[in-house]
Amino acid sequence: MASKFNSARHYCERLFLEGGPFFHLHTKPLQTTLLFRDEEELNLALNLIALAVYASGVRLLAFAIMNNHLHFILEGSWDCCQAFYQDFQRRLTGVYFKKKRAADVKAAEPGFTPISSLLQLRDEIAYVVRNPFVAAQNVHLFSYKWCSGYLYFNGIRELLPKGIPATQLSYNQKRAFKHERDVDLDERIRVLDGVALASSFTDYERAMSFFENSRQFVHWLLKNVESQVSIAKRLGETITLDDTELWSVVYSLCRDTYHVPSPKELSGEALATFRRTLKYDYNASNAQIARCTGASPAAIDEMFPLNAR
């Protein structure tokens, strides 16, 4: 059994070393407006991403479209990755220019994080897939239409609608799809109800190959909390942890930083610093800090009055 696991690990490592380069492309979250205001605009983003993938020749391993920002995990040369976003941005600007919202597209400034190891690639893919889930309470981790999360290790993926090749759309439907006079479309793009299917432009099988199995993939999504927080801080995004996730952080901090088995062993300035770490590094609510450190809600509200209920 051990040899089987070692073989899977070595296979993933070899694929990574032989592939690449890899980048996490992320746009700056808009603070005062939304990039995509409704489902129609989110669907537009899917279409434009599909066009940009095949125009640039990049491999799209994962993506998440949020109302005020975007995430992409890309495999390809630096030039291809830049061309991908430039193509997407140009097309979106053209559509939004008519809506007098071209400034919104310009404000979503892109950043590129190079990915230098297999572990980092897994971290970045997991972060992107988790992004809609942690940002909205009514989003399921594996069913958000505007994220590639539902494609990986999905046993019923083949039962999902497959749509039709974009080349089979009528002339007017092609114009509506592209929002351009030019109606040339790549036959690899498949469309359902006028919207590009993520399965036709996301190389999800390639992304899956960097995880040893489904269990490891789910573990990376749900258990690797420290890495998720680290990426969020690097990108300037706010991450919200539920109690289970925060407890894993609590015990990790106790073990690695304070060398005690639990918060009960902390007191004085060490305990105060521990609480501040939970608040400012992990965005814990006052109620969560009270539960995790055995304090009264009133005491924590006094420590962090701006976050008091």
Output the tens digit of pLDDT for each of the chain's 309 residues: 445 557 888 999 999 999 999 999 999 889 889 999 999 999 999 999 999 999 999 999 999 999 999 999 999 999 999 999 999 999 999 999 999 999 999 999 999 999 999 999 999 999 999 988 876 667 777 888 999 999 999 989 889 999 999 999 999 999 999 999 899 999 999 999 999 999 999 999 999 999 999 999 999 998 888 888 888 888 888 777 888 888 888 888 899 899 998 888 888 899 999 999 999 888 888 999 999 888 889 989 999 987 665
**Domain boundaries for CATH 3.30.70.1290 within the chain:** 2-229
Q: What does DSSP assign to residue 147?
A: B
Length of the chain as a residue count? 309
**Contact of 12 with 212, CB cutoff 8 Å:** yes
Pick from 190, 165, 134, 145: which is nearest to 41 by CA?
Answer: 145
Q: What is the 3-state secondary structure (H, E, C) of 174-187?
A: HHHHHCCCCCCCCC
Percent of the chain that is helix, strand, coil (3-state, to 5): 55, 10, 30
Number of neighbouring beta carbons within 10 Å of residue 23? 24
How far is it, in rounded angstroms, from Cα 28 to Cα 144? 21
Contact 152, 207 (CB under 8 A): yes
DSSP reduced 3-state for 251 = helix
Nearby residues of 125 by Cβ (< 8 Å), 6 or more positions away:
61, 62, 73, 207, 210, 220
Q: Partners of 71 in the beta sheet?
A: 26, 64
CATH, domain 2-229, list 3.40.50.620, 3.30.70.1290, 3.30.1360.120, 1.10.20.10: 3.30.70.1290
295, 279 Cβ separation under 8 angstroms: no
Please give the order of strands across the beta sheet that includes 22-27: 59-65, 70-75, 22-27, 110-115
Residues 6+ apart with CB under 8 A from 262: 250, 251, 254
